[in-house]
Structure 1
Amino acid sequence: MNDVHKTESESTERSASKTSTRRADLRARLVAAGRAAIAEGGLQNLRARDLAAAAGCAVGAIYNVFDDLDDLILRIGADTLAHLEQGLAAPPGPAPEPAEELLRLSRFYLSFARANKALWRALFEHRLAGGRPAPAWYLEDQGRLFALVEAPLARLLPDEPAASRALLARTLFSAVHGIVSLGLEEKLAPMSEAALEGELERLVRAFAGGLTIRRTGEDPWKD
């Protein structure tokens, strides 16, 4: 009798494992299809019927593995954030001066936005239905990116409270994002790549220089 129960339990576990694997595979195919759709035509190019066809499933199957299209879009966004995080991660070797590290991060953000414009735009265009806040797991993904900015700020301002550094990281990101967005979208005027990169460097160095003055009382740019 025990052998029978053991066999039934093992069979149930195998079945559950296969179901879980199939669900994970379908989720991955739908995320890949959604990412390709957004990359090709922006967020408005994301349609359930087209996604289902690309992933090889019925339309209803989408809602068996995602709560709704918002959930799917968030997962695509998380995939974009993961690629961005991978590129922003510090390279091996000694850490550069904080200002240089902040400049490296800003330059990569610009290059990523330039190379993945539609997916980058989608991160900021998407709004959850009903004004719902982003889920905790998505905010954690965002938080890891801000932590990469906070690290050089911690070396630049070692006595700054963590909460204040977190706010500074978000302030700098907002400024960098603004320049990148205005430059790539040409909202104000056409701007060459060299001019855009130059303005980005000007901003980051001014920001870092201001924080240095705040810490030491000395102007790093003064002769």
Structure 2
Amino acid sequence: MSTEERREQLRAALTDAAERTIAREGLAALKARDLAREVGCALGAIYTAFPDLDALILTVNLRTLLLFDRTIAAVRTAPGPGEGAPSRADREAAVEDLVRLAVAYLRFAGEHPARWRALFQHRMTTAPPDWYLREQVRLFRYIEAPLRVLRPDLPEAERSLVARTLFSATHGIVSLGLDEKLMALSEPVLRRQIETVVGALGRGLAP
């Protein structure tokens, strides 16, 4: 086995171990020394596979984003309108799509709470790498699709901004609702909040 193959094996083993730790105990429990012990390597060997723990955490977070991608890709959404201006039924279907996507986000956060929190708890001293930012941007396209139906007149940059705004509103509801130290609301209550807020925002966007 070549040196590069051994390095890739170590990368995979460290990523698996870090992923298990984060999913089980949260991001704060991730320690380099514990990872080395679990994987069976020297502490310094970690930094032959990853330049630092930031890179390892981003690799785990990428797996979480891909898992979330599969979750929302499975959400059944209405097909876009055909030729011509969207009808009222098209616009209402687009609003329902936005609500379904937001509810899927709530469900994902509830099913994978530690992994979901790690996406937002990790603070880097430098800007995230381009490959990680591209994955984040790609996920916003699920929101942008129904927005094209609601506001086909919006330039792409403005549509992207609206998508991020809708995500921020949803994320705020989910974050506060799942925070046990603040309000810890039940899933049905959070779902009703999301349906009310996202539905109202979506209908308000339609001309």
TM-score by length of 1: 0.82
Q: Give the distance between the partners of 1:176 and 1:94, measured in 2 at CA.
A: 21
User: Map of 1:1-223 to 2, 5 A cutoff?
Assistant: 18-90=2-74, 95=79, 97-129=93-125, 132-186=126-180, 188-212=182-206, 215=207
Q: Give the distance between the partners of 1:79 and 1:156, measured in 2 at CA.
A: 32
Q: Give the distance between the partners of 1:144 and 1:68, measured in 2 at CA.
A: 26
What's the RMSD between the two structures over aligned residues? Answer: 1.7
Matched position secondary structure for 2:152: coil
Report the count of equivalent residues: 195
Larger radius of gyration: 1
TM-superposed deviation, 1:85: 0.8
For residue 73 of structure 1, what is the amino acid of its counterpart?
I
* Identical columns (%): 50
CA contact (8 A) 2:140 2:163 kept: yes
Q: Give the distance between the partners of 1:50 and 1:102, measured in 2 at CA.
A: 42
The unaligned stretches of length 5 or more in structure 1 are: 1-14, 216-223
TM-superposed deviation, 1:95: 2.5
Task: Tell me the equivalent position of 2:83.
Answer: none
Q: Give the distance between the partners of 1:151 and 1:20, measured in 2 at CA.
A: 41
Matched position secondary structure for 2:51: coil
Q: Deviations over 1:137-178 (max 9, x none)?
A: 110010111111111111221111000000000000000000
Return structure 1 stretches of 4+ with deviation > 3 angstroms: 90-94
